[in-house]
Chains A and B, each alone.
Chain A
């Protein structure tokens, strides 16, 4: 009997394969990528398929389920969010203008960098807080789903060949000194000052499955939720709402909005263009 199937290369088939792979990963390793945005997820799976030299998602699934090392590599592909120090310099300018004055009113404040990836944003904020004289009065919690990525973030070493771009960003972000003061060149890496990380706590945390763990005055989560689908975004918005103190600040990426999120009405815009929101109820 001939089964009524489509062409083997039709997009729907790959969609079935992706669904099976994600289900398998969840059941075997406990990581839940089932609510990730499908288009970006597929690109990242393709990259791992190329890396492992396999042609189909099903072939990748066989490797991932039987070889935890392949899972570790895939986890890196799925969890490293590419960013830059002082990405969107105007955001950091707005942070200085709108958020720093609020932080000054607290004797001590807690910031959460949710989905910190390899740490570029964490060190950018640490530099900003140091320049505003707030380092001693703030603690930055930097979390990511992936332990290996957090270890990288903790090192505070970024590619030396990026320093020109980052210096450019830093200046436009309102930096008050010479950017090169913050790092020393080591081989092809720029080692950032250990003192910057003194006020930072790095920890593993899964936005999809872990609960609130503290009350924060500021949460930044920029260009992390773009990799999630709408239901998971709503879930994370709820987590942030629960984790923010009243009048706490939520910072999203330049193209992310709180509109249509379940807690839209609990926030007012602090700097709409820069996607800075303040919890008011």
Chain B
């Protein structure tokens, strides 16, 4: 089984955690990475991509609606939109906030579970709310790989803990610095 998409959810403290994750990411780990990071409606347009781009070679983009999902790209959910995936392309929505959030991690992850099932890796990072828990449970139920940032190492432990509670544990619980190594094993090690 090869993994075809890595979905990541982050909230409070997410920028630091995401930066650390991208810093450690080997270039060979090339499935598309799709991030739902909670942020304010007024956040500077393009600001998050620019910050994350400093940590990784591959392009970091806010996708347009129906943009094809490409390997070796990092995609960031646009502020004030839900980001969903379907059939190799993105789809956006302005529907109600879910768990008080738009973008919502649950919305992204549930669409990932439906479209990618066992070919998906879902990762829940630091945060102070419950978004992502239902979504991670959906990825798990669909046969995908689940990873949660070790709550003890997270800037805010509530979100990883909520995800672990609802999904009934995860395949891996790791400090964020060790997640790139796991991704290498899962995405590259498996091919060798």
Smallest distance from the beta carbon of B73 to chain A beta carbons, Å? 16
Q: Which of A200-257 contact B (CB under 8 A)?
A: 223, 225-227, 230, 233, 253-257
Q: Are A9's CB and B141's CB within 8 A?
A: yes
Q: Which of B126-171 contact A (CB under 8 A)?
A: 141-142
Q: Are A40's CB and B65's CB within 8 A?
A: no
Contact of B64 among A81, A87, A255 (CB under 8 A): A255
Question: How many angstroms between the C-alpha atoms of A163 and B94 in the bound complex?
Answer: 19
Interface size class of B (residues with CB under 8 A): 20 to 34
Q: Are B110's CB and A37's CB within 8 A?
A: no
Question: How many angstroms between the C-alpha atoms of A28 and B66 in the bound complex?
Answer: 30
Q: Are B66's CB and A43's CB within 8 A?
A: no
Smallest distance from the beta carbon of A36 to chain B beta carbons, Å? 10
In the complex, whether B173 has a CB less than 8 A from a CB of chain A is no
CB contacts (< 8 Å) of B86 on chain A: these are 37-39
In the complex, whether A42 has a CB less than 8 A from a CB of chain B is yes
Q: Are A37's CB and B91's CB within 8 A?
A: yes
Contact of B114 among A39, A44, A233, A254 (CB under 8 A): A39
Q: Are A226's CB and B113's CB within 8 A?
A: no
Interface size class of A (residues with CB under 8 A): 20 to 34
Question: How many angstroms between the C-alpha atoms of A196 and B85 in the bound complex?
Answer: 39
Q: Are A83's CB and B94's CB within 8 A?
A: yes
CB contacts (< 8 Å) of A273 on chain B: these are 45
User: Scoring B residues 79 to 96 as 1 if CB is less than 8 Å from chain A, else 0, what string do you get?
Assistant: 011101111000111111
Contact of B84 among A39, A87, A225, A230 (CB under 8 A): A39
A-B residue pair count with CB separations less than 8 angstroms: 67
In the complex, whether B117 has a CB less than 8 A from a CB of chain A is yes
Q: Are B84's CB and A11's CB within 8 A?
A: no
CB contacts (< 8 Å) of A226 on chain B: these are 65, 91-94
Chain A residue with the shortest CB-CB distance to B106: A43
Q: Are A39's CB and B115's CB within 8 A?
A: yes
Contact of A82 among B62, B66, B96, B107 (CB under 8 A): B96
Q: Are A81's CB and B94's CB within 8 A?
A: yes
Given A42-B114, A43-B107; A254-B78 close (CB under 8 Å): yes
CB contacts (< 8 Å) of A90 on chain B: these are 45
Given A11-B113, A43-B107, A230-B66; A255-B78 close (CB under 8 Å): yes
Q: Are B142's CB and A11's CB within 8 A?
A: yes
CB contacts (< 8 Å) of B115 on chain A: these are 11, 39
Q: Are A255's CB and B92's CB within 8 A?
A: yes
Question: How many angstroms between the C-alpha atoms of A40 and B111 in the bound complex?
Answer: 8
Q: Are B95's CB and A43's CB within 8 A?
A: yes
Question: How many angstroms between the C-alpha atoms of A237 and B54 in the bound complex?
Answer: 37
Q: Are A255's CB and B63's CB within 8 A?
A: yes
CB contacts (< 8 Å) of A255 on chain B: these are 62-65, 78, 81, 92
Q: Are A11's CB and B114's CB within 8 A?
A: yes
Q: Are A256's CB and B65's CB within 8 A?
A: yes
Question: How many angstroms between the C-alpha atoms of A42 and B80 in the bound complex?
Answer: 20
Chain A residue with the shortest CB-CB distance to B114: A11
A-B contact pairs, 8 of them (CB 8 A): A37-B86, A39-B111, A40-B95, A87-B80, A253-B65, A255-B62, A256-B64, A273-B45
Report, nearest first, the 7 A-B pairs whose CB atoms are least far apart.
A39-B84, A39-B86, A39-B111, A40-B93, A37-B91, A226-B65, A226-B92
Interface residues of B (CB under 8 A from A): 45, 62-66, 78, 80-82, 84-87, 91-96, 107, 110-111, 113-115, 117, 141-142
